[in-house]
Chains A and B, each alone.
Chain A
Amino acid sequence: MNGAQDAILLRGLSAVYEGESVPAIRDIDMSVASGDFICVVGPNGAGKTTLLEVINGILPHTSGEGTALGLSISENGDRIRKRIGYVIQNFEIDPLSPFLCRNVVMSGRAGMIGLLRFPAKHDWDVVNRALSLVGMESYASRPVGKLSGGEFQKILIARAIAQEPEVYLLDEPFSNLDIKARGDVDRLICELNRGGSTILMVSHDVGSIPLSCTRMILMDRGRIVAEGPRNEMLQTGEISDLLRCRGSEP
């Protein structure tokens, strides 16, 4: 299996959660070229988050093959994860959380800095630049527990940027954001892609697909059911029909 030219290459990939009999994703064939911006859409429970977790090796796949950045995802979990930025689906932040924004952003670099090494000045420069890119440089010393949903989402994106990854996996990056914050995050993601980063984003909201997205993949019940260029996919109405049918259309 040669995945050297592709940022991500999956062939017949399936994953079953412990104790479950039905695969959360099944027979996934997907190739993401370096520099691509691909959106995976589908209703809740389609397997979108599972797909991201399998790609960065957090969840082991049960059959099929996959490579990320030319490395087998089943054998190089830690190595791959250091080169992939992951923005987790917006989780409920503890309002008393005792972490400052700059430390949360630096924690994104913890893996790549390595064990028994302290962050150097260069690392803090990267953290400050990441905060600046998301417009949160003045929040560096603020506790994350005091942030709004939109601000917190930007910090999570800054955390991924600080990792200086080649690929971004974005899980519902627009969830819980107001219109202005959505616009800010949309611009930011497009800028990252223009800068050469590969982006694989999942969403259940067709209205939030950024214009820079080149290709869309529609998932349902763990399978890829359709894919194609963004504009074509949006025109067919297949996505809207499916989301409406499954009750995920906002």
Chain B
Amino acid sequence: MISLPFALLVTATLGSVLAGLSCSIAGVFVVRLNMASIGFCMSHAAFAGAAFGLLVEVDPLPTAMLFATLTAVLLAPVANRAKLNTDVVIGIMFSLMIALAFIFLNLSPGEAASGTALRILWGSIFAVSEYDVLFLSLLSLVMLAFVVLFYKEIIALLFNKKLAQASGINTYVFMLAIVFLTGLAVSFSLKLVGGLLVYALIINPASTAYQFFWDFKKIMIFAPTIGVASCLSGFVFSLETDFPIGASIVIVSALVLAVSIAVSPKRRRRSSASFA
């Protein structure tokens, strides 16, 4: 087992808890709105951003966050403007970001395989700083406030977008807010979980919660709980095995999801009902 200095242990633990909290809250929206590919797109945008940072010889992490956040902010307006499904725009942005990443790396001789770029791809405990914890704390507070203050609008939107609009809710603003907050959750969790894997932290805990509960309020409580538990378990698993923390968190959360699908009372009841 890896032994860490106490300060680093506290920072990494707090980072894990807050990344699990913010990503899984975003996941509740993303999964229900069928925007699962958004995390995938943003994580690759972050990769492109990191490559751009290497090219212009600045810290690749802020540029990774900038690219991921910009992609998040642009997704909804582009989809809205082009009258395209968000998933189509995500597909376009995803390929564009990968292309940009390859060009940036190609223009940075000797850096393509560097540890800095690769660490952003799969995350590292050692990369998490006090500032990251502070940003994640603020983001978690904002996300919790968003859920509490706009709970009735969120339910209306997640139940049916057209009906929500028909009852006088400005669905465009709420969709924009959800995409933006998801982008921030991805960006702030990049250092810990890694760009290639962070989307799993968005999708897995929320999908697990959806397997068990019929009441949206319970999903809003249990998805973050599962997210935090997955992150902490993944963190311990990473220390025990010396696996990368991002991969460890994803393996734990995927296992939890697989078990939850197998034992889901929702599915069991439906399948027994269908045979009745």
Contacts and interface: CB of A to CB of B under 8 A. Distances in A.
Interface of A: 18-19, 56, 58, 78-79, 81-82, 84, 86, 88, 91, 95-100, 103-104, 106-113, 115-116, 118-119, 143-146, 156, 159, 163
Nearest to B148: A118
Contacts of A86: 163, 166-167
A48 B213 CA distance: 37
Interface in B176-215: 210, 213-215
Contacts of B166: 56, 58, 81, 84, 86, 88
29 contacts: A58-B162, A78-B168, A78-B170, A81-B167, A82-B167, A82-B168, A84-B166, A88-B163, A88-B166, A95-B270, A96-B210, A98-B216, A98-B219, A100-B215, A103-B155, A106-B155, A107-B155, A107-B156, A109-B152, A110-B153, A111-B168, A112-B167, A115-B153, A116-B149, A118-B152, A143-B214, A144-B159, A146-B214, A163-B167
B152 A110 contact: yes
Count chain B CB atoms within 10 A of each CB in A98, A106, A156 and give the residue with the most: A98
A130 to B, nearest CB: 13
Interface in B204-245: 210, 213-216, 219
Nearest to A52: B166
Interface in B142-156: 149-153, 155-156
Nearest to B212: A98
A107 B168 contact: no
A165 to B, nearest CB: 9
Interface residues of B, number: 30
B160 A110 contact: no
Contact of B152 (A19, A58, A81, A119): A119
Contacts, number: 93
**5 tightest Cβ-Cβ pairs between the two chains A and B:** A111-B168, A82-B168, A107-B156, A143-B214, A86-B166
Contact of B159 (A18, A95, A107): A107
A156 B164 CA distance: 12
B165 interface: yes
B169 interface: yes
B268 interface: no
A159 B163 contact: yes
Contacts of B216: 98-100, 103
B30 to A, nearest CB: 14
B162 A104 contact: no
Count chain A CB atoms within 10 A of each CB in B32, B155, B267 and give the residue with the most: B155
Given A115-B153, A116-B149, A145-B214, A110 B169 contact: yes
Contact of B163 (A100, A107, A109, A145): A107
Nearest to A107: B156
Given A99-B155, A99-B159, 19 more contacts: A78-B170, A81-B166, A86-B163, A96-B210, A96-B266, A98-B210, A98-B214, A98-B215, A98-B216, A98-B219, A100-B215, A108-B156, A108-B163, A110-B156, A110-B167, A110-B169, A112-B168, A115-B150, A116-B150
